[in-house]
Structure 1
Amino acid sequence: MACEEAPYDETKTRYQELTSTVPAGGNPAEDMYKYQGFWYPKVFLEGIISAQDNFKAKPTDIILCSAPKTGFTWLKALCYAIVTRTLFDEFKSPLLSNLSHFLVPFLEIDFAESPPHREPQLPLLSTHLPFTSLPESIKETPCRIIYICREPKDTFVSLWHYLKRVVENTESEKMLKIEDQLDMFCKGKSPWGPYWDHVLGYWTASLEMPEKIMFLKYEDLKNQTPFFVKEIANFMGKPFSVEEELDGLPEKTAKFCNFESMSSLEVNKCEKFRPRGPVEIMNSAFFRKGTVGDWRNYLTSEMIAKLDHITNEKLRGCALEFGSSDLGSSQ
């Protein structure tokens, strides 16, 4: 059990007091609140506060982190497949009948009211929280963190499409014009945003604590998946044996978890994610294209220039690059 008994009633009281004082606003399609410098949908805020108050990390925990729409569904599938490869073969993997988000506990949801039961052989947890807002026990214990980020323009386009799926067939859908959403994204008023601050928080921490934090870019993972499957396994303390490498298991894991494989599963085409949770959405909303450079199909030259300018200003002098608008190609 990763949590001890905690005063959840006190957390609820603090949440109620907080939401009466913190600024509300942001995305017109969501009721969002600004908390500790970042914007959160109200439905997740109580869970965030609860995780901060009550979650007790163990040294063996592996925390998967990201801002929304940066390849998180894929990262969870890869990490889950790596960790459980001695428990299930590819024909019996729970990934065949469950969305990866369901298999890896999410701090903002699963720790909202009480700590869930966790099997010792499954050390994976996940969160969209920025580094500065992580529960203190995560920062203080030698547990490991894997963070994935994505080129900001692709992140924005993916987020815009996802939000449209969340609110489709409602009045809010009419409010999700791409121009308005870009303006909100650039101002940092997007779920778990500002995006650039989210990325830089983990980037800086990874430079200071490389043994604790593995920093990944979606584009690199896409281009060299088998290589990074081995790197992730090594970082998690679950390295592939010589026999496994000779058998091509890293390559098989990469293929098993790729976009085409996961998106074609019946569970990810027809079922709903957490139908009784704070947000109900079809699993298919987590699978759109899985490509690099799709922003070219949606953004005007003015939009591109605006996002690139912010990216260049935010990343100036920090040795983190995503590439420029005229490089790379869609996959």
Structure 2
Amino acid sequence: MDSISKSFEQKEEEEQSLQKTNQSFEEFLSTLPRDYGWTPLFDCYLYQGCWYYPFFLRGVIAAQQHFEAQPTDIFICSVPKSGTTWLKAVAFAIVTREKYSDLSSHPLLSTMPHECIPFLEVDVVGKEHTNQTAEVPLLATHIPYHSLPKSIISGGCKIVYIYRDPKDAFVSLWHFTSKLTPKDATHISLEEALELFCKGVSYYGPYWDHVLSFWKARKEAPQRMLFLAYEEMRKDPLPCVKNLADFMGQPFSVEEENEGVPQKIVDLCSFENLSDLDVNKKGKHRPENAAGIENRAFFRKGMIGDWQSHLTPDMAERLDQITREKFGGTDLPSYVSD
């Protein structure tokens, strides 16, 4: 009976602690600048210069307070809808290629990439177990560089950052958030979304500031940060895969080169192959929480220049003007459509 009583008391204490934490977080939210979100489900809140939905902000703060990175950790970083899913698949295939040399039974054929590499602010913080191991030292995050946990910045961790034409990132994000909108609610219009995006109010936005936060950090420590442009990977993936393997300390051997292993990884992780797999057409990622979404939502077109089918010339020019102002003076692609 004593053990049962202790168990009930422990559970009650945990529930009270959780209630206090939730109340404290809600009180903290009320102090932050607030704006409309891209779905009717949540508003966005400004924290350390970046806009978040409450679910993710809670994880960001927890990561800043509690996460301790290891020097061997490798972080996949990005603005949402910039090629994260694809890069996760490629990175996972590279570091596990010895274990999964038989590609006919590779985990990526039956597991979506987001299940293979956990997100720091969602899957790792507050969890007793993650699928991150010394064998797979990969973690992902959308947190901008200046808000990363101090242990990542000071611990010598390697960072792989992928970015994309802001116009394509915007259109992809608009389509993605439509999947988050309840069927009985009105999805935000493209024009409304553009207004918010240009103000910087978007999922982990402003987009341009996010990219620049990592670009500036790379200038200070180029040996620990690799920048990848989505467009370059899409047009010529093989050199990018080899470059990524070298950077992660997993270079392909002469034997692997002769056996065509790099190209096999390119083929396995191609957008066309991944998007055609049953696992990425069915099922739901994180079905148990507020970040749950159907797997197919992560695979739409993956096209370069798809924005041309959605944006008017004036809309494109508005985004281009911000890109000129923000990326001017850097070695980042201009992404200006003229």
Query: TM-score normalized by structure 2?
Result: 0.90
Determine the C-alpha separation between the residues in 2 that align with 1:123 and 1:266.
Answer: 27
Give the alignment of 1:205-244 within 5 angstroms: 205-244=217-256
Aligned equivalent of 1:91: 104
Which blocks of at least 5 consecutive residues in structure 1 are unaligned?
1-6, 327-331
CA contact under 8 A between 1:38 and 1:194: conserved in structure 2? yes
Q: CA RMSD in A?
A: 1.7
Aligned equivalent of 2:190: 178
SS of alignment partner, residue 98 of structure 2: coil
SS of alignment partner, residue 77 of structure 2: strand
2:154 to 140, 149, 154: 140
Which amino acid counterpart does residue 163 of structure 2 have in structure 1?
A: C
SS of alignment partner, residue 255 of structure 1: helix
Determine the C-alpha separation between the residues in 2 that align with 1:144 and 1:115.
Answer: 24
Aligned equivalent of 1:276: 288
Distance verdict in 2 for CA 1:73–1:133, change over 3 Å: same
CA contact under 8 A between 1:268 and 1:284: conserved in structure 2? yes
1:151 correspondence with 2:165: yes
SS of alignment partner, residue 129 of structure 1: coil
Aligned equivalent of 2:94: 82
Query: Once the two structures are superposed, what CA deviation does each residue of 1:247-301 show, in whole Å capped at 9, x if it has no partner?
Result: 1111110111011110111110011111002222110000000110000000001
Identity of aligned residues (%): 47
Distance verdict in 2 for CA 1:11–1:215, change over 3 Å: farther
Aligned equivalent of 2:3: none
1:286 correspondence with 2:298: yes
Distance verdict in 2 for CA 1:188–1:92, change over 3 Å: same
2:44 to 8, 15, 32: 32
Which amino acid counterpart does residue 190 of structure 1 have in structure 2?
A: S
Displacement after TM superposition at 1:92 (Å):
1.9
Distance verdict in 2 for CA 1:232–1:9, change over 3 Å: farther
Deviates more, 1:316-325 or 1:86-95: 316-325
CA contact under 8 A between 2:69 and 2:151: conserved in structure 1? yes
Q: How many residues align?
A: 318
Aligned equivalent of 2:257: 245
Which amino acid counterpart does residue 136 of structure 1 have in structure 2?
A: K
CA contact under 8 A between 1:27 and 1:181: conserved in structure 2? no
Determine the C-alpha separation between the residues in 1 that align with 2:20 and 2:255.
Answer: 52
Determine the C-alpha separation between the residues in 2 that align with 1:180 and 1:143.
Answer: 38
Deviates more, 1:86-95 or 1:75-84: 86-95
CA contact under 8 A between 1:233 and 1:240: conserved in structure 2? yes
Displacement after TM superposition at 1:77 (Å):
0.2
Which amino acid counterpart does residue 27 of structure 1 have in structure 2?
A: G
1:66 correspondence with 2:81: no
Determine the C-alpha separation between the residues in 2 that align with 1:66 and 1:91.
Answer: 30
Displacement after TM superposition at 1:8 (Å):
9.2
CA contact under 8 A between 2:159 and 2:224: conserved in structure 1? yes
Determine the C-alpha separation between the residues in 2 that align with 1:297 and 1:168.
Answer: 25
Determine the C-alpha separation between the residues in 2 that align with 1:58 and 1:28.
Answer: 35
SS of alignment partner, residue 27 of structure 1: strand
CA contact under 8 A between 2:38 and 2:177: conserved in structure 1? no
1:169 to 178, 183, 190: 183
1:195 correspondence with 2:207: yes
Query: Once the two structures are superposed, what CA deviation does each residue of 1:174-221 show, in whole Å capped at 9, x if it has no partner?
Result: 241000000100000001000000001111111211111101110111
Determine the C-alpha separation between the residues in 2 that align with 1:238 and 1:99.
Answer: 22
Which amino acid counterpart does residue 200 of structure 2 have in structure 1?
A: G
1:101 correspondence with 2:114: yes
Distance verdict in 2 for CA 1:232–1:8, change over 3 Å: farther
Query: Once the two structures are superposed, what CA deviation does each residue of 1:43-100 show, in whole Å capped at 9, x if it has no partner?
Result: 1111111111111110110000001000000000000000100111212221111111
SS of alignment partner, residue 26 of structure 1: strand
Aligned equivalent of 2:30: 20
Which blocks of at least 5 consecutive residues in structure 2 are unaligned?
1-16
Aligned equivalent of 1:127: 141
Which amino acid counterpart does residue 97 of structure 1 have in structure 2?
A: S
Which amino acid counterpart does residue 170 of structure 1 have in structure 2?
A: D
Stretches of 4+ aligned residues off by more than 6 angstroms: 7-11
Determine the C-alpha separation between the residues in 1 that align with 2:38 and 2:279.
Answer: 31
Aligned equivalent of 1:264: 276
